[in-house]
Amino acid sequence: MIRPQFDNSVPKAREFAFSDDDFDALRTLVKAHTGINLTPQKRELVYGRISRRLRALDLRSFRDYRQLLSDESGTEFAEFCNAITTNLTSFFRESHHFDYVRDHILVPRLNDGGNARRVRIWCAGCSSGEEPYSLAMTIRETLPDASGWDIRILATDLDSDVLARGERGIYPAERLREVSPARVNRFFRQTTLNGQPAYAAAPELRKLITFKQLNLMTEFPMRGPLDAIFCRNVVIYFDKDTQRDLFARMAQLQQPGAILFLGHSESLFKVSTDYALIGKTIYRRV
């Protein structure tokens, strides 16, 4: 999940000059490469985030930084995208979505006499991995014996830093405060992270998930069909045209009856006719 971080503080004296041209150039890059539409109200956010990169690189001006970004294949361009976005997530966030996966996708297949035991789920904007690991726990709880099942969770994000954390699968102890003790005991192993208590996801969860970096503005490498797509709290900062294009391409990866989950502040109203609302931020491919 990729979301700009709001900062409503009063602007302080600037360390670096930050012209209209600087802001317009940077937000144009952000829109083109991430889909995020940074309005003029986000100017201080952009300054605050990118000035950190200037300090780290020992640069003196935003103009110098913009010149560095002219190489879009360079390592700094990835750092730029990471810096301008932040990631808010938690285990079993909007828990009714995981209940729906259990009750309406997994259980019917468990009871169908052995057919249709292929499951494909995509977490688009997976952030640091709490969402796909929550799905993996749901799957393991619902299917105690997963032998004979072909189950894959694809977890993607643009931010390479949080994606690496998700792939490591190690979380500070406080991140699991809302996870039941029974789940922690079953699905995690005690460890340390930076000298502090932490938990590592068990192999039975990790083997279900593939983490890949993916920019949603580019062509999708997967083919589908996907039984479910989690695209939660991702498009809230996209303009309507970007949303329409994204969901039209997602619809091509799903067959009628497949499910799309959005975040609590998102809607497909006047965005897509490929999906019908069937529950709280739950849509079915028509």
Whether 49 is catalytic is yes
Cα 173 to Cα 35, 92, 126, 128: the distances in Å are 33, 16, 20, 15
Cβ atoms 247, 274 nearer than 8 A: yes
- Asked if 202 and 170 count as a contact pair (C-beta separation under 8 A), the reply is no
Candidates 3, 49, 109, 120; catalytic one: 49
Q: Which helix (H) or strand (E) holds 113?
A: none
Paired with 283 in beta bridges are 260, 277
User: Which of the four pLDDT bands, split at 50, 70 and 90, describes residue 86?
Assistant: low
Q: Looking at 53, 140, 157, 206, which residue is catalytic?
A: 157
The token duo for 98 is 């995981």
pLDDT at 10: 45
Could you give the dihedral angle defined by the CA atoms of residues 31, 277, 153 and 210, in that order, rounded to the nearest 10 degrees?
A: 0
Mean pLDDT of 136-162: 92
pLDDT tens figures, 162-208: 999 999 999 999 999 989 999 999 999 999 999 999 999 999 999 99
47's enclosing H/E stretch is helix 43-57
Stated pTM of the model: 0.83
